[in-house]
Amino acid sequence: MSLIAPSLLSADFAHLAADIEMINKSEADMLHLDIMDGVFVPNISFGFPVIESFNKLCTKPLDVHLMIVEPDKFIENFAKVGASYINVHYEACTHLHRTIQKIKATGAKAAVTLNPHTPVCLLEDIVSDVDMVLLMSVNPGYGGQKFIEGTLSKTVQLKELIARKNSKALIEIDGGVNLETGKKLIECGADVLVAGNFVFKSENPIETIHKLKQL
Ligand code: DX5
Ligand code: ZN
């Protein structure tokens, strides 16, 4: 059974309290929060005061996906406002090993994220240090995009790398996840599925989360 992390980016921002209430009642394992700075990705989302408010309402761990340049500057801030997982992009970190240690020092779990064009083999010397690897299955910046099929073989490669390195890292996939792509991803070895549009644009999000949970 996989872990499910609904992405709040696709929720109705005028009713966030109700959506978090829904997440609390659902079988979701964590809440995925997308932080965008308008530089690393061509979009801007939300920041610290908003996460802090979510943390007060949400009973599930917060999985914070940083689509920002120079994430090192803000790691303590994200930990302070309640992030359980802090995901930094491989492409945004010149000194990734240092960044990962910095995340761990706050007590948060450390995750590294790869864009669709970034090969899994680049994680060879860091995969044993992280709690989770997030593979982007769309180009980051927006919800509701089409799943990139090449993510399936990357998931298999990552599973092999994790086993070879005796790493305990979970494999998380983000972008275009639905029941069809989710099923294939689980077969390839994914542990955590992020789903934005598929959950929040569905008629019954609690039921949709339940169905994803059954995959
Ligand atoms: C994209 C974000 C995703 C996004 C996924 O940049 O990282 O978390 O919300 O949305 P869907 O599931 O709709 O592709
Ligand atoms: Zn995300």
* Nearest residue to 181 via CA among 215, 156, 210: 215
pLDDT in tens, 60-116: 999 999 999 999 999 999 999 999 999 999 999 999 999 999 999 999 999 999 999
Asked whether the predicted pLDDT for residue 1 surpasses 90, the reply is: no
Ligand 1 within 6 A of CB of 47? no
Ligand 1 within 6 A of CB of 140? yes
Is residue 174 part of the annotated active site? The answer reads: yes
Please state, as a whole number, how many other Cβ atoms lie within 10 Å of the Cβ of residue 164.
10
Quote the CA–CA distance of 70 and 88 in Å, as a whole number: 9
pLDDT in tens, 176-211: 999 999 999 999 999 999 999 999 999 999 999 999
* Phi, psi values for residue 4, rounded to 5°: -115, 130
- Please report, as a single letter, which amino acid is at residue 39: V
- What spacing in Å lies between the alpha carbon of 10 and ligand 1's midpoint? 8
DSSP for 57-72 reads: H--SPEEEEEE-S-GG
Residue 87, beta-bridge partner list: 65, 111
pLDDT in tens, 3-32: 999 999 999 999 999 999 999 999 999 999
Mean predicted confidence (pLDDT) in 161-166: 98
Residue 6, beta-bridge partner list: 195
Mean predicted confidence (pLDDT) in 135-142: 98
The SS3 of residue 123 is helix
Nearest CA to ligand 1 atom 4: 143
- Active-site residue, selected from the candidate residues 19, 37, 174, 191: 174
Which region, left, alpha or beta, applies to residue 141 given φ > 0 means left and ψ of -120 to 50 means alpha?
Answer: left
Is residue 34 part of the annotated active site? The answer reads: yes
* Phi, psi values for residue 11, rounded to 5°: -80, 165
State residue 113's pLDDT score. Answer: 99
Ligand 1 within 6 A of CB of 196? yes
Ligand 1 within 6 A of CB of 89? no
* Nearest residue to 20 via CA among 64, 62, 54, 61: 54
- Active-site residue, selected from the candidate residues 34, 37, 129, 131: 34
Q: Say what the alpha-carbon torsion angle 161, 198, 66, 2 is, to the nearest 10 degrees.
A: -40
- Please report, as a single letter, which amino acid is at residue 23: I
State residue 142's pLDDT score. Answer: 98
pLDDT band at 34 (very low <50, low <70, confident <90, very high): very high
State residue 9's pLDDT score. Answer: 97
Q: Please list the alpha-helical segments (H only) found in the chain.
A: 16-25, 48-57, 75-80, 96-105, 151-164, 179-188, 197-200, 205-213
pLDDT band at 55 (very low <50, low <70, confident <90, very high): very high
